[in-house]
Structure 1
Amino acid sequence: MRYNLITLSLSVSVTLSLLAGCTEAESYQEYQLVQAEQEETSQVVCRLFFQDHDSSQLKWADLRESSSFLLSEPAPVKGLPELDNTRQKLVQMERIGDKVITGVRDDQDGGFQSGWIFLETGVEEEAHGDHSHWSYESEPQLLHSQVDDQQGNPAHLYQYDARFYLANDRNNGFTRIDPALWIESEPTKNISAFHAGGGNHITLAVANNSVGYSTWIDGGGPNKGRVDVVPVSDSGTKDVSYSFNLSSGAIHGATVVENKVFFAPSEGISWVSVDPNPEQPKLIEEIKINSIEIGTDQETKKPMRTGAFTVNRDRVLFVSGSGRSTLLGIINATSDNPSLTKIDIPMDVNTTPTTPQVVNSVSGQRLAFIFHDNKGEEQADEFMTIVELDPNQDFDYSDATVLSSIKVGPSAVDGHYGHHDIAFDNSGRYALWSNPGNGSITLFSLKTLEPISDFTVGGKPTKLIVHGEMNSSH
């Protein structure tokens, strides 16, 4: 029997009480004793953090294993600023080591209270050569929060070269946050620096910890397709070095790999080489803007585009298209003329693909996961497609292939919110994904590629972060 440490439904409790000839209170007390025994003999697998969209709270729980898998009762991370869930929402979330940052967005373009929250996971890793020892004795703790009416209502959060980058949309710039600069004995030490560049709804790529490419979302006018090039430093900058414009606008994605910067405008993909000397302004004639066509959407007959990238090793991954035209795109960034591999991911016309998330599993497989999330009032069955990126393990993804599609719990999409999200333990043994539509989180084996258990957590779990792995015996 599997025990879910989170909830015990009243109906089950009453049934158990009747069968056992005891009161409901006695039944629940017995259940709590079983919980305690299970926890005592169990081992922590990893620590999970998830955003509850309903309450605008960041919660955490430990996944444990004994004879079965258990999830401790989720609790809000202590000390975090109390958000107004009718006006403020947690947005993207990233982890570097044992540090996590999540953005906060409000309903007044940053004029109410927006910004960022910086915390420690409480998970400690002690490296022992070919393995690590993991400790889960400490609870997560808040390190710093910057939530006020001066943060420009961030939407996007990135990490490059072990630094966080938060896009301050309405301030036309971005904040660089260096977790390595955090010193517990000096909590007021400045770990962040603002850089001017980009506008309205910023996406961002930062190369070599020295140059940022910050975009404008405008689909027309003088800022259509505009990219600002900004020198990056610990102290920040008030000035853009220079700008250039892509041939199409509405840029909604950017990343960097192999000394190339990739952008996601309204048509196809554009890329430029990283500028090794960003302090020196450039003329538009000096900048070579390259294009990669994705194709034409069979349904809309319009050029295909994407909205976000995932980087794995020297490849750029993205999804594009709709319905039966949906595809996973893989760009080989090592080439002087990057090539594009396409993998068909056909899906219901009423669903939309999520940005692929990639893991190297304990079995040696390099896997990408793509959810099919409902996008409108018409509710279709929702699935997760698993793609093996490198079946023969020669680091050439041209042989990528779809392994399977698994039915998942419902999403609860509302604009940018309410999508499924997936995260992986450090060992590559397990994945956990959120099902916002039914308030549950699913545990999945990366070895057997099958679901293991569903845990009811309530609310609308959305963004996930996982840290740690189970200690190995030796």
Structure 2
Amino acid sequence: MRKHIYLRGMLVILSIAVATPLSAAESSTNTAEESIPLVRVIWQDREDKAVHWGQFEQNGSQVTFQNQNTIPGFPELDTERNELVQMDRLGRVVLVGVRDDDDGNYQSGWVALDLGVRMHSHGDHQDCIYHEPPFVLSSMIDQAQGNPAHLYTYEGNFYLANDKRNGFTQFAPLHLLRKDDQQHGTFYQGGAGHITLAAVEGKVAYSTWMSYDEANAGRIDVSDLSKPGDASIAYSFRLPVSGLHGATANSGKVFFAPSDGVYYVDADVNLKQSGETVELKHLSLGQDAENNRPYRTGAFATHRNWVLCTTGKQDEAALCLIDAAAEEPSVIKLEIDTPDGLTLTTPAMVVTAAGKRYAFLFQDRKTGDKQEKLVVVDLDPNGDRDLSDATVIKQLEVGASQVEGHYGHHEIDFDADGNWGVVSNPGTGQLQLLSLSDLEFKGTYEVGGMPTKVLCIGGKETRH
């Protein structure tokens, strides 16, 4: 192993032997002077409130990492007053939310990035071309963006919640790339407070109210996506419990995360229902044995027809799996014993190059000094696409998180080929490269600052 580490912002190269062997042809053509990109990575740095990027490359039998520092043109934010909130990717376009400490009255909004990697589908694989470095497409940071927090992607569009405007903005990646008249998105009314939302078929959106007052506790607005602006809301309904913080859509159903378990409704894509006719269905996640309070979750993830979330604590902590396509969905709980002081994060899923379906969850530190870990779940051990037999197969030690409220958690994302995962360690200023073939870390990379949310794009570059 060879390692060269310079100051932050300069080139960082760490070479490691990789588990994936090279063919004779590849070995003969990959000289020390030629590096082939494997995956491009961007990450949020909570310390300088900017987005950084780097690239893993293959040089012969070695993998190197090039840390390229910040993305040129990214807006300069106030490191004390601004936060980078959620970010997500559709194709090569990334949307990043920006929040402030004054309900959006200081400066909040969003930044759109082009990651510069072109991916073209060729039947059973994708060709990847590393065309140019990442750059800023456009941004909107001002006093009129409503202090965004949650960001979602549904059916090829971004949905950014504008909390203090009681609504959300839909962005189409193609409009952002073209910088046309719709580059700033389309605003719809729906939801309030700390909004979470789910959109279905580009026709309707369900937006939650984070409210505990008698008038709006448990309220959910159903917005007609053919009617932008203040006329969007078709009707509203209420759950019997409040504390809404989480929503998603899957298989014609919409799921919500209030203070008691999970509720779901059938998606009303043709707007034939009303607030009085919506049928609410409840799924219990169990209750705390110490205080008898119902367990809840805070966020969902989806994989095919399955909805996944986490709940509970210590020996009652669990990954929950819900088959959304079932006529009457139920909760399957996979217990993951989690030491006191640690908490399970929302899972991230991948299908590997070998066809394995894995979920990755972190045990992040809330209090104390327990070792934090990455938990690997084999979602489908027998390969029948029924996840009811999911099982924990491995736990890996990771560097420290730096959790403060919603911020500072570990994150993981994956390359397009299903060969690699990249983990951020906020408390140690490091990234780790995980092989998805043997589920072992192959390198640790100093990037400095506080790397949090991480996104990957591309696989091994195609050179025809």
Give the TM-score taking structure 2 as reference length. 0.92
Matched to 2:3, the amino acid is Y
Give the match for residue 194 of structure 1: 187
Preserved contact between residue 163 and residue 178 of structure 1 (Cα < 8 Å): yes
Preserved contact between residue 210 and residue 232 of structure 1 (Cα < 8 Å): yes
Aligned counterpart for 1:80 among listed residues 63, 66, 74: 74
1:414-471 Cα offsets, whole Å, 9 max, x none, are 1111000000000110000100000000000000011100000000000011000003
Give the match for residue 39 of structure 2: 46
Q: d(CA) in 1 for partners of 2:92 and 2:177?
A: 14
Aligned counterpart for 1:149 among listed residues 131, 143, 146: 143
Segments of 5+ residues of structure 2 without an aligned counterpart are: 9-29
Give the match for residue 310 of structure 1: 301
Q: d(CA) in 2 for partners of 1:92 and 1:171?
A: 18
Aligned counterpart for 1:390 among listed residues 377, 380, 390: 380
Give the match for residue 370 of structure 1: 361
Matched to 2:190, the amino acid is G
Give the match for residue 229 of structure 1: 222
Inter-CA distance 460–39: structure 2 relative to 1 (3 Å threshold): farther
Inter-CA distance 234–287: structure 2 relative to 1 (3 Å threshold): closer
Matched to 2:173, the amino acid is P
Q: Does 1:3 align with 2:3?
A: yes
Within 5 Å, give how 1:53-452 maps onto structure 2.
53-66=46-59, 67-182=61-176, 184=178, 186-233=179-226, 235-278=228-271, 282-284=274-276, 286-376=277-367, 378-452=368-442
Inter-CA distance 333–295: structure 2 relative to 1 (3 Å threshold): same
Alignment partner of 1:181: what SS?
Answer: helix
Instruction: Give, in angstroms, the shift of residue 235 of structure 1.
Output: 4.4
Instruction: Give, in angstroms, the shift of residue 390 of structure 1.
Output: 0.6
Preserved contact between residue 200 and residue 269 of structure 2 (Cα < 8 Å): no
Q: d(CA) in 1 for partners of 2:31 and 2:337?
A: 43
Inter-CA distance 436–190: structure 2 relative to 1 (3 Å threshold): closer
Q: d(CA) in 1 for partners of 2:177 and 2:347?
A: 35
Q: d(CA) in 2 for partners of 1:172 and 1:48?
A: 33
Matched to 2:194, the amino acid is H
Instruction: Give, in angstroms, the shift of residue 233 of structure 1.
Output: 3.5
Give the match for residue 457 of structure 1: 447
Give the match for residue 21 of structure 1: none
Identity %: 41
Q: d(CA) in 1 for partners of 2:232 and 2:131?
A: 45
How many pairs does the alignment contain?
442
Q: d(CA) in 1 for partners of 2:129 and 2:203?
A: 35
Matched to 1:229, the amino acid is V
Q: Alpha carbon RMSD of aligned pairs, Å?
A: 1.8
1:180-207 Cα offsets, whole Å, 9 max, x none, are 22353x5454450110010010000001
Query: Deviating runs (4+, > 6 A) in structure 1?
Result: none
Instruction: Give, in angstroms, the shift of residue 218 of structure 1.
Output: 1.4
Give the match for residue 24 of structure 2: none
Q: d(CA) in 2 for partners of 1:297 and 1:4?
A: 49
Instruction: Give, in angstroms, the shift of residue 141 of structure 1.
Output: 1.3
Inter-CA distance 238–372: structure 2 relative to 1 (3 Å threshold): same
Q: d(CA) in 2 for partners of 1:432 and 1:320?
A: 25
Q: d(CA) in 2 for partners of 1:44 and 1:383?
A: 29
Matched to 1:153, the amino acid is N
Instruction: Give, in angstroms, the shift of residue 113 of structure 1.
Output: 0.4
Inter-CA distance 158–131: structure 2 relative to 1 (3 Å threshold): same
Preserved contact between residue 435 and residue 441 of structure 1 (Cα < 8 Å): yes
Matched to 1:224, the amino acid is A
Preserved contact between residue 6 and residue 72 of structure 1 (Cα < 8 Å): no
Inter-CA distance 234–423: structure 2 relative to 1 (3 Å threshold): farther
1:213-249 Cα offsets, whole Å, 9 max, x none, are 0001113421111000001148455341111111111
Q: d(CA) in 2 for partners of 1:173 and 1:40?
A: 52
Preserved contact between residue 219 and residue 248 of structure 1 (Cα < 8 Å): no
Give the match for residue 17 of structure 2: none
Preserved contact between residue 2 and residue 68 of structure 1 (Cα < 8 Å): no
1:243-288 Cα offsets, whole Å, 9 max, x none, are 111111111000000100000000010000000322x56141x110
1:304-346 Cα offsets, whole Å, 9 max, x none, are 1000000000000000011111000000111121021110011
Matched to 1:89, the amino acid is E
Q: d(CA) in 1 for partners of 2:209 and 2:64?
A: 45
Inter-CA distance 74–348: structure 2 relative to 1 (3 Å threshold): farther
Matched to 1:156, the amino acid is H
Segments of 5+ residues of structure 1 without an aligned counterpart are: 9-36
Instruction: Give, in angstroms, the shift of residue 301 of structure 1.
Output: 2.4
Preserved contact between residue 137 and residue 177 of structure 2 (Cα < 8 Å): no
Alignment partner of 2:174: what SS?
Answer: helix
Preserved contact between residue 152 and residue 159 of structure 2 (Cα < 8 Å): yes
Inter-CA distance 188–142: structure 2 relative to 1 (3 Å threshold): farther
Matched to 2:176, the amino acid is W
Instruction: Give, in angstroms, the shift of residue 297 of structure 1.
Output: 1.8
Instruction: Give, in angstroms, the shift of residue 146 of structure 1.
Output: 1.0
Preserved contact between residue 177 and residue 192 of structure 1 (Cα < 8 Å): yes
Matched to 1:49, the amino acid is I
Instruction: Give, in angstroms, the shift of residue 40 of structure 1.
Output: 2.9
Q: d(CA) in 2 for partners of 1:244 and 1:318?
A: 24
Preserved contact between residue 4 and residue 70 of structure 1 (Cα < 8 Å): no
